[in-house]
Structure 1
Amino acid sequence: MTVAVETGTWQLDPSASTVALRHKTMWGLVTVKGAFTAISGGGEVHPDGSASGTVTLDAASLDTKHTKRDTHLRSADFFDTDRHPEITFAVRGADRLDADGVRVTGQLTVRGISRPQTFTARLASAAGDGVTLEAEFAVDREQFGMGWNQLGMMRGLTTVTATLRFTRTPA
Structure 2
Amino acid sequence: MTVAVETGTWQLDRTATTVALKHKTMWGLVTVKGAFATVDGQGEVRADGSAVGTVTLDAASLDTKHAKRDKHLRSADFFDVENHPEITFAVRSAELRDGDQVHVIGQLTARGISRPQSFTAQLGDASADAVTLTAEFSVDRDHFGLGWNQMGMIRGLTTVTATLRFTRSAA
Please state which band the TM-score falls in when normalised by the shorter chain: over 0.9
Letter in 2 for 1:44: E
2:131 corresponds to which residue? Answer: 131
RMSD between aligned alpha carbons? 0.6
CA distance in 1, matches of 2:114, 2:33: 23
CA shift, 1:91, in A, is: 0.3
CA shift, 1:32, in A, is: 0.1
Q: Which is further off, 67-76 or 93-102?
A: 93-102
2:70 corresponds to which residue? Answer: 70
CA shift, 1:3, in A, is: 2.5
Q: Render the CA deviation track for 1:104-129: whole Å, top value 9, x for unaligned.
A: 00000000000000000000210110
CA distance in 2, matches of 1:28, 1:124: 33
2:14 corresponds to which residue? Answer: 14
Q: Structure 2 matches for 1:27-106, cutoff 5 A?
A: 27-106=27-106
2:107 corresponds to which residue? Answer: 107
Letter in 2 for 1:22: K
2:170 corresponds to which residue? Answer: 170
CA shift, 1:2, in A, is: 3.5
Give the unaligned 5+ runs of structure 1. Answer: none
CA distance in 1, matches of 2:44, 2:35: 26
2:141 corresponds to which residue? Answer: 141
- Segments of 4+ in structure 1 off by > 2 A? none
CA distance in 2, matches of 1:110, 1:86: 7
Give the unaligned 5+ runs of structure 2. Answer: none
SS at match of 2:125: strand
Letter in 1 for 2:94: A
Q: Render the CA deviation track for 1:131-164: whole Å, top value 9, x for unaligned.
A: 0000000000000001100000000000000000
User: With structure 1 as the length reference, what TM-score do the two structures score?
Assistant: 0.99
CA shift, 1:170, in A, is: 1.8
The answer (yes or no) to whether the contact 2:28–2:154 under 8 Å persists in 1 is yes
CA shift, 1:98, in A, is: 1.4
User: With structure 2 as the length reference, what TM-score do the two structures score?
Assistant: 0.99
Q: Render the CA deviation track for 1:4-61: whole Å, top value 9, x for unaligned.
A: 3110000000000000000000000000000000000001001111211000000000
CA distance in 2, matches of 1:80, 1:56: 16
The answer (yes or no) to whether the contact 2:22–2:33 under 8 Å persists in 1 is yes
CA distance in 2, matches of 1:17, 1:156: 26
The answer (yes or no) to whether the contact 2:21–2:159 under 8 Å persists in 1 is yes
Letter in 2 for 1:126: A
Question: Identical aligned pairs, as a percentage?
Answer: 75
SS at match of 1:143: helix
The answer (yes or no) to whether the contact 2:50–2:96 under 8 Å persists in 1 is no
SS at match of 2:68: helix
SS at match of 2:72: helix
